[in-house]
Amino acid sequence: MTSDLPTPALLVDLDRLRANIDRMQRACRAGGVELWPHAKTHKCVEIARMQMEAGAAGLCCAKLSEAEALLPCGVRRLFVAHSLADPGLAPRLRALADRLDELIVACTSEAHFPALEALLRVAGLRLPVLMAVDTGLGREGVRDRAAARRLAARITACPTMRLHGLYTHEGHAYTSPERPEACAAEALRAASAVRDALDPALPLWPGCSVTAEAMAQIEGVHAVRPGTYVFGDLSLARTRPVMPWSSLALSVLATVVDRPEPGLAIVDAGSKCFSSDRTPDGLAAADLDRRDLLVRRLSEEHGFVTGADADGLNVGDRLRLVPAHVCPAVNLADHLTVVSGDAVVASWSVAARGCVW
Ligand SMILES: Cc1ncc(COP(=O)(O)O)c(C=O)c1O
């Protein structure tokens, strides 16, 4: 039972997790779009396996170590959606490619191209390459059509690369005032304009949980790469309510350990559980049961719970708190406790925890 667990503990509601995986897969199937979930959210072999069994075409990873840790899920096709730039990665890249049917890598700008070229040459690999296009986040990706044309020409002329398509990450959709459908349409318009300047037949691979379901219904999208959808968090259920609250699959089980003054309860989960990420309105976490219990302040081992219902709490009470941003919270945990109602049904290792190299 969850009441017997030591706290803090990360709880995953198995039924909700399954429903989230199935809903995204159904949306992709209905739109005829491939789903390549980004595994950086869960970093768990068991969840990657569930995504593959539900029909995912492949997985995305951010780093080689993440991909290596998740190989036991049986994945055969992987996209490493990051600017791989270190020639020292060559032996590991080679070994990873040898264990897969398809390994796709990212080329994220003209500045990145020579580093990727050197890496592939040292590794002795010729790989499919997705070119990153910036659609407004301002992180990786070519900024305009002219840069895209120049980079595409270099990729096409390079004996170790094959231009496989274009990818985007609409991270700015989390804070946009536009509806998700409008964000999806706008990002796709920007990516299509770049693509059409190169070759209208090149596949488009957008990727973000805010826009994924909308993207999957738009003609011309080849694959989507959402990650956060698998659990949800405050960014997807509160800031950007694209996910119903009742679908939230991960919470931090925490115990009230002090009531030092009226209106304030202290729980035993702080930034070492939730990370320091906040919603734009400053929340680190909120009550899964929708009471007015809000965490706006954290120290390493303490969460400061305030809100109209805080005075109803007593030392020893247990809360399930939804993190603002679930991905870094999972990366801080050794394992996830899998629950069905109040029953503990499994414990899954966060196999790729800390795999950032
Ligand atoms: C390159 C890339 N693709 C896909 C994703 C998944 O997006 P989300 O977290 O919105 O599901 C991310 C998230 O950071 C990303 O950086």
Pocket-testing residue among 208, 230, 236, 277, ligand 1, by greatest number of atoms within 8 A of Cβ: 208
**CA gyration radius, the chain:** 21
Model pTM score: 0.96
Predicted confidence at residue 312, as pLDDT, reads 97
Q: How far apart are CA 226 and CA 24, in angstroms?
A: 9
Half-sphere exposure of 134 toward its Cβ, with a 13 Å CA cutoff?
12
**Domains delineated in the chain:** 2-10+243-349 (2.40.37.20), 14-230 (3.20.20.10)
- What does the DSSP assignment read for 162-182? EEEEEE---GGGGT-SS-HHH
Q: How far is the CA of 191 from the centre of ligand 1 (A)?
A: 16
- Site to probe by mutation for ligand 1, drawn from 20, 35, 38 as the one with most ligand atoms within 8 Å of Cβ, is 38
Q: Ligand 1 mean position to 183 CA, how many Å?
A: 15
135 C-beta closer than 6 A to ligand 1: no
Asked if residue 81 has its Cβ within 6 Å of ligand 1, the reply is yes
What's the 168 CA to ligand 1 centre distance in angstroms? 9
Distance, CA 65 to ligand 1 centroid (Å)?
17
Whole-angstrom distance, CA of residue 181 vs CA of residue 185:
6
pLDDT recorded at residue 240: 86
| Per-position pLDDT tens, the chain of length 357 | 999 999 999 999 999 999 999 999 999 999 999 999 999 999 999 999 999 999 999 999 999 999 999 999 999 999 999 999 999 999 999 999 999 999 999 999 999 999 999 999 999 999 999 999 999 999 999 999 999 999 999 999 999 999 999 999 999 999 888 989 999 999 999 999 999 999 999 999 999 999 999 999 998 899 999 999 999 999 999 998 899 999 999 999 999 999 999 999 999 999 999 999 999 999 999 999 999 999 999 999 999 999 999 999 999 999 999 999 999 999 999 999 999 999 999 999 999 999 999
The residue whose C-alpha atom lies closest to atom 14 belonging to ligand 1 is 171
* Nearest one of 59, 287, 81 to 168, comparing CA atoms: 81
Ligand 1 centroid to residue 340 C-alpha, Å: 28
pLDDT of residue 353: 96
261: which strand partners? 264
Kindly state if the Cβ of 141 falls inside 6 Å of ligand 1. Answer: no
207 Cβ closer than 6 Å to some ligand 1 atom: yes
